[in-house]
Amino acid sequence: MLPRAFSATAPTLKQAASSSSSSAAAPLRRTRDPLVASSRAHHFRLDTGAHFVARPPPSILPPTVPIPHPATSPLPRALADSPFAHAVAPSPFAPDSPAAPPSANEHRLPPLRAPSTSATTPATTLSPAEVAELQSLRRSAPAHWTRSRLARRFGISQQVVGTLGWGEGPEARRAELKRQEQVVARQAKVETRWGWKKEIAREERRRRREMW
């Protein structure tokens, strides 16, 4: 039994020995340093003996790549005798060519959008009498004179209605508190018809607000 077992395992041992010897003889694979392999890297030897490598980011064009400019641009002529002349070569494209730079096709672009006005800036200027009327309507029937209705009536935005508020004084404060109670009561009535999933979500929101 022993000689037969030894003869059966002998080829396996020879194969393992040959594979280990071949792996030891093969050179290790080394990843090439990107600073050394890059054609855009510049190498300098400092006075201290240190090796300094400068490589521009890949998102920036190297200085050897010319930047096209329209033929009417005075920049190439102004820098013709400077070391940067290669970077301001005239554009090889016609001004109306789709491949031309954006500066040559500005006349073909759509007009810029007008800046939007602030939402808190009223489109119309309210007089003090109109402001007092708005606040009076807001206090008298807040359920009817909502922000949207007051905004349509006076030609202003809802944000401006909220900014003007209820006015000054204890009466305005009481009207505001009463309106808040009505909103809370109406929301509570709606929440009574919620299922258990919405109740859990509501409780989670309440706990998160407590930790603000």
Q: What are the pLDDT digits (tens) for 27-38?
A: 777 777 777 777
Q: What pLDDT sits at residue 6?
A: 47
Task: Pick out the chain residues at pLDDT < 70.
Answer: 1-26, 58-110, 114-123
Q: Are 33 and 41 in contact (CB under 8 A)?
A: no
Q: Are 105 and 142 in contact (CB under 8 A)?
A: no
Range of the domain at 186: 128-210
Does some domain include residue 199? yes
Q: What pLDDT sits at residue 207?
A: 93
State how far the Cα of 59 lies from the Cα of 125, in Å rounded to an integer. 50
Does some domain include residue 178? yes
Q: What pLDDT sits at residue 92?
A: 53
Does some domain include residue 12? no
Q: What pLDDT sits at residue 208?
A: 92
Which one, of 56, 25, 24, lies nearest residue 38 by Cα? 56
R_g of the chain computed on alpha carbons? 39
Does some domain include residue 174? yes
Does some domain include residue 149? yes
How many structural domains compose the chain? 1
Does some domain include residue 61? no
State how far the Cα of 87 lies from the Cα of 56, in Å rounded to an integer. 16
User: Which residues are CB-contacts of 109 (< 8 A; sequence separation ≥ 6)?
Assistant: 102
Does some domain include residue 51? no
Does some domain include residue 183? yes
